[in-house]
Structure 1
């Protein structure tokens, strides 16, 4: 599996490029960037901010386009290796090793470029605190590279993330990669906070009840989407449940799933050594769900319990991911 470390830091890309990156959903680059055409659908994308790993996912789609952008050049040597300083003066500095000219001004010219924009929201896994800058550089194929797009040694990177001081399961990454390679749409859920209207609707429907454990303080309950909000762009009827915050996170990671046939909880083996979680295995949902809920629960089950899907889910309930809303 190919994997790429991509820099997503305010001001990290050269001035005048007009990128609108959002690490959890999409990333943009153009053909002036080394490795620009090597990145492919199905590759792992790992984003960092030059300090730590932010998260990782699998590229679902790459949109290729054309654009004209204004690019700066050094007034001394004429090369485009110019960076804008935020604090230190002079304002501009040339990165070229044989120049290093500093100036309050830069030259500007129009340049036609090929643009690339990845979409990777469905399998996004937040990874803050797992790997720091020095560790990430050491895991690159070329550790001394300064490029914004750097190839990672996937096996070593995977081991570092899953067996580090803050181990993070990457089951979603493997499943998303396999699903994309098979030519199917990906289906998972993401944590998306700050949705008071959706949460209010769920509270009105279910009351102050966690769908996995029962009554809970309203302050502890989060609105959990049963689908990729970013891919669909809207709140679906029957597309959410109220979950306790810790259970919401475990559900997102697929460590807890709901069997759509029995409407009972299925815990991954990683959780079973913990008594408070282990007792939830095979426990029924504490709220009544509709056929619409079951439709989304079925997709989540298929994503995170792929091996069990064929045996556990009748043919008529196997669903495909709805087309994203543009």
Structure 2
């Protein structure tokens, strides 16, 4: 398995690069960056901000294009190693160790570059601060690399993350890769905040009721997709429930799952130390669900409760109409 540590930090890249990174959804770079052509669909992408880990996912696709790029260069050594200072003067400084020229001006050149934009939303696992910069550098194939795109030793990285102290649903990475390898023939079970129309529909079906805890103000309820909306791009019947915001997040991480056979909540041990959450363990769903809901919940269960027995879902006849939003 190939994994990449990529830098996503405002102001960290060179002047006029024009990147629009959003760590949780996409990452962009171009052919001026070392290793630019080595990233592939199905690779693990690990994002950091130069100080700490932000999260990780699997590359779903890479859009390749062409663009005109204007970049600065040092007026003394003529190399494109110029950084722009925000506070200190002179404004520009050359990063070339043999030059280090400082100047109020820089030279500028225009060239054609190949652009790359990866998408990785469906499998995104937030992990801010779980590993810090020094440890991340140690886990790179080349520990002394200064490149924005650095290859990671995946097995060592995964081991370090597993022992970071916070339970993370790393099985999502394996499942996302299986989905991509099979041509998206199955759904990656993720929870996503839906479109306003989808949330409105759920409010009409269930009322102002959290599926885990019962009645709640509409302002506190989110439309939780029980599948990857990012990967599917449509709303499926039985594919959503209303969840309180904090519970939505915990469900997303797999810290709360629903046993689709008993229709009861199952909490990870890490949550049972919190009294308000602990009392939910074993509690039944507060809304009536259909066979389609149970189908999606079973896949979520199988992803996050790998050590639990896979329940068999009995057939049911009651279904809901397909939601189009």
1:138-169 CA-to-partner distances (Å, cap 9, x unmatched) read 21122221111111111111111111133433
Which stretch of the first structure deviates more once superposed, 60-69 or 214-223?
A: 214-223
Is the 2:57–2:121 Cα contact (8 Å) retained in structure 1? Answer: yes
Q: Quick one: distance in 1 between partners of 2:297 and 2:166?
A: 29
Q: CA deviation at 1:130?
A: 0.9
- 1:286 — aligned with what? 286
Is the 2:58–2:176 Cα contact (8 Å) retained in structure 1? Answer: yes
Q: Match of 1:108, SS?
A: strand
Question: How many matched pairs?
Answer: 313
1:61-103 CA-to-partner distances (Å, cap 9, x unmatched) read 1111221111111111111111111221111111122211111
- 1:189 — aligned with what? 190
Q: CA deviation at 1:7?
A: 0.6
- 2:320 — aligned with what? none
CA RMSD of aligned residues (A): 3.4
Q: Quick one: distance in 1 between partners of 2:56 and 2:119?
A: 12
Q: CA deviation at 1:221?
A: 4.0
Q: Match of 1:37, SS?
A: coil
Cα distance change, pair 314–29 in 1 and its aligned pair in 2 (3 A): farther
Q: CA deviation at 1:182?
A: 2.9
Which stretch of the first structure deviates more once superposed, 219-228 or 55-64?
A: 219-228
Q: CA deviation at 1:286?
A: 1.6
Is the 1:271–1:277 Cα contact (8 Å) retained in structure 2? Answer: no
Q: CA deviation at 1:227?
A: 3.5
TM-score, scaled to structure 1: 0.80
Q: Quick one: distance in 2 between partners of 1:297 and 1:54?
A: 28
Q: Quick one: distance in 2 between partners of 1:68 and 1:267?
A: 53
Residues 109-124 of structure 1: pairs in structure 2 closer than 5 A: 109-124=109-124
TM-score, scaled to structure 2: 0.80
Is the 2:222–2:245 Cα contact (8 Å) retained in structure 1? Answer: yes
- 1:75 — aligned with what? 75
Cα distance change, pair 313–202 in 1 and its aligned pair in 2 (3 A): closer
Residues 58-73 of structure 1: pairs in structure 2 closer than 5 A: 58-73=58-73
Q: CA deviation at 1:235?
A: 6.9
Cα distance change, pair 307–103 in 1 and its aligned pair in 2 (3 A): same
Which stretch of the first structure deviates more once superposed, 119-128 or 232-241?
A: 232-241
Cα distance change, pair 67–308 in 1 and its aligned pair in 2 (3 A): farther
Q: CA deviation at 1:230?
A: 4.2
Q: Quick one: distance in 2 between partners of 1:271 and 1:145?
A: 36
Question: What residue ranges of structure 2 are gaps of 5+ in the alignment?
Answer: 316-324
Which stretch of the first structure deviates more once superposed, 90-99 or 201-210?
A: 201-210
Q: Match of 1:227, SS?
A: coil
- 1:11 — aligned with what? 11
Residues 134-145 of structure 1: pairs in structure 2 closer than 5 A: 134-145=134-145
Q: Quick one: distance in 1 between partners of 2:179 and 2:229?
A: 19
Q: Match of 1:23, SS?
A: coil
- 1:132 — aligned with what? 132
Q: Quick one: distance in 1 between partners of 2:184 and 2:198?
A: 29
Cα distance change, pair 176–232 in 1 and its aligned pair in 2 (3 A): closer
Question: What residue ranges of structure 1 are gaps of 5+ in the alignment?
Answer: 316-324
Q: Quick one: distance in 1 between partners of 2:48 and 2:178?
A: 24
Which stretch of the first structure deviates more once superposed, 162-171 or 212-221?
A: 212-221
Q: Match of 1:45, SS?
A: strand
